[in-house]
Amino acid sequence: MSKNLTTRSEDYSKWYNELVVKADLAENSGVRGCMVIKPYGYAIWEKMQAELDRMFKETGHQNAYFPLFVPKSMFEAEEKNAEGFAKECAIVTHYRLKNDPDKPGKLMVDPNAKLEEELIVRPTSEAIIWSTYKGWVQSYRDLPLLINQWANVVRWEMRTRLFLRTAEFLWQEGHTAHATREEAVEESEKMMNVYADFAQNFMAIPVVKGLKTETERFAGAEETYCIEALMQDGKALQAGTSHFLGQNFAKAFDVKFANAEGKQEYVWGTSWGVSTRLMGALVMTHSDDQGLVLPPNLAPIQVVIVPIYKTDEQLSEIAAAVSVLTADLRKLNVTVKFDDRTTQKPGFKFAEWELKGVPVRIAVGPKDLENGTFEVARRDILTKEIKEKEGIAIYIKELLEQIQNDLFDKALSYRNNHITEVNDFEEFKQILEDKGGFVSAHWDGTAATEEKIKDMTKATIRCIPLDAKEEVGTCVFTGNPSSKRVLFAKAY
């Protein structure tokens, strides 16, 4: 298996694109801006889904499903939200094709099948869901509504990249309705914390929790909480958002409830989502010039076993030894694959599983059979060691935990080394240029300053960290007073 992978230092962006395709995660399709998620990539996404779904259910949420289409009049009901998504909507205008009389064998849109009202392919589902909630909520006893949806959404992006920005993507979107502002704010924060836990404990990606500025806020939200991660090239990536919607959608869709005193009030809302974009974050946080590096908690195959043999007899002896090991590993809930393909040589297999990021590789040859050993290789740090077969299953189980932790620690150390406090705009530009990462700086709180800095440096305010200390300071750009540092970065 020849990898021919561009290295990260040569061209990070090219390395990413090649890796996603060569490791069988995804590829571009024949449809502009839409990707095909290949079985190996989808298996990782399924593991993410399973964990997130469990976490949502444990926090009291239920799944449901709402329509793909939003009629235009419904879409425009919440004006800010509509404005935010209007420029990137796929619009269904007709419902039938007919034979093209001028081109035998070809079809054309039937002009007699024009819809009375255009349908927007959902870019997000607040409109369709709040129009439904109106029928579900009468009294405070009907609240809270704690609902999540796994779905595809479409945003007509002009420049797309596999996983990071595609016209269609898969995501989950939670939409909740509450009787009080406090409860809705608490829900928004809770789900941001769920996302942070997931990112750190499963993806092994350290994140900063924070608030978006007004400029970067979700269209239609009063407040957007986010988790921000840092990629190996020093660019930030927004890994999840959780919005406190205030009563904006309740007012737009007239969703009221009778409180305990019988008085009508508007409902308070939240929405929160993560998407297949997380796949991009996973790749860019851990992988290296040899290929993918997957955290064991999300690897579809955690351990691959490659036999080294010359004769069929050797192979069957190895297979017998391996079957004991695989049974032991499976008892410990380790996902293991015995790669006994006869069509490929061990060297090819080693390279393939390295490219695909399998955390642990075990090789077994005739010598190992003689000595009662296995060769155990770690994908993350590319080391090998010989281990006695006695107790090896438990050793592997613990090794996987070790790898999971080491990946997180490595990413955390990189991230922490790339948060630079800056008090001067020249230095600000210099750091962004030379080192990248987050720049922690004072900002005067105005959208105008934010925009000027973005125009000059391409850096945006990724978030106002929740744990930012109160601190007397002056804006790095205008010199106006500021009481908190915010995190700037160039971002995906």
Residues that bind a second copy (CB under 8 A): 27, 29-31, 34-39, 42-43, 45-46, 62-72, 74-76, 79, 82, 86-99, 105-107, 109, 118-121, 128, 131-132, 135, 141, 147, 151-152, 154, 156, 168, 170, 343
CA dihedral 12, 17, 23, 27 (to 10 degrees): 170
Give DSSP secondary structure letters for 21-60.
Answer: HHTTSEEE-SSTT-EEE-HHHHHHHHHHHHHHHHHHHHTT
> Two tokens at 415?
């991230």
* Amino acid in the structure at residue 238: Q
Cβ 158 to a second copy shortest distance, Å: 9
Cβ 252 to a second copy shortest distance, Å: 11
Cβ 382 to a second copy shortest distance, Å: 28
Task: Classify the phi-psi angles of 188: left when phi > 0, otherwise alpha if psi is within -120 to 50, otherwise beta.
Answer: alpha
Of 128 and 432, nearer to a second copy (C-beta) is: 128
Burial 440-459 (b: 16+ CB within 10 A, else e): bbbbbbbeebbeebeeebeb
Cβ 353 to a second copy shortest distance, Å: 17
- Rounded Cα distance between 173 and 151, Å, is 8
Cβ 155 to a second copy shortest distance, Å: 10
Contact 286, 293 (CB under 8 A): yes
Give DSSP secondary structure letters for 95-114.
Answer: --EEE-TTSTT-EEE-TT-E
Cβ 15 to a second copy shortest distance, Å: 22
Of 38 and 484, nearer to a second copy (C-beta) is: 38
Nearest to 277 by CA among 26, 8, 6, 18: 26
- Rounded Cα distance between 163 and 279, Å, is 6
Cβ 120 to a second copy shortest distance, Å: 7
Of 74 and 422, nearer to a second copy (C-beta) is: 74
Give DSSP secondary structure letters for 132-169.
Answer: HHHHH-SBGGG--EEEEEEEEEE---SS-BTTTB-SEE
Strand partners, 491: 236
Cβ 147 to a second copy shortest distance, Å: 6
Name the H helices within 145-269: 181-201, 248-252
Of 92 and 332, nearer to a second copy (C-beta) is: 92
Of 131 and 297, nearer to a second copy (C-beta) is: 131
Contact 267, 256 (CB under 8 A): yes
**Cα–Cα distances in angstroms (integers) from residue 261 to residues 139, 182, 241, 251, 269, in the given order:** 10, 18, 34, 21, 21
Of 67 and 445, nearer to a second copy (C-beta) is: 67
Of 90 and 351, nearer to a second copy (C-beta) is: 90
Of 36 and 466, nearer to a second copy (C-beta) is: 36
Nearest to 425 by CA among 444, 401, 402, 410: 444
* Amino acid in the structure at residue 358: V
Cβ 101 to a second copy shortest distance, Å: 14
Instruction: Tell me whether the omega of the peptide bond preceding residue 144 falls within 30 degrees of 0, making it cis.
Output: yes
Cβ 39 to a second copy shortest distance, Å: 4
Of 119 and 439, nearer to a second copy (C-beta) is: 119
Cβ 146 to a second copy shortest distance, Å: 9
DSSP 8-state secondary structure symbol assigned to residue 13: H
- Rounded Cα distance between 146 and 150, Å, is 14
Of 95 and 316, nearer to a second copy (C-beta) is: 95
Of 119 and 325, nearer to a second copy (C-beta) is: 119
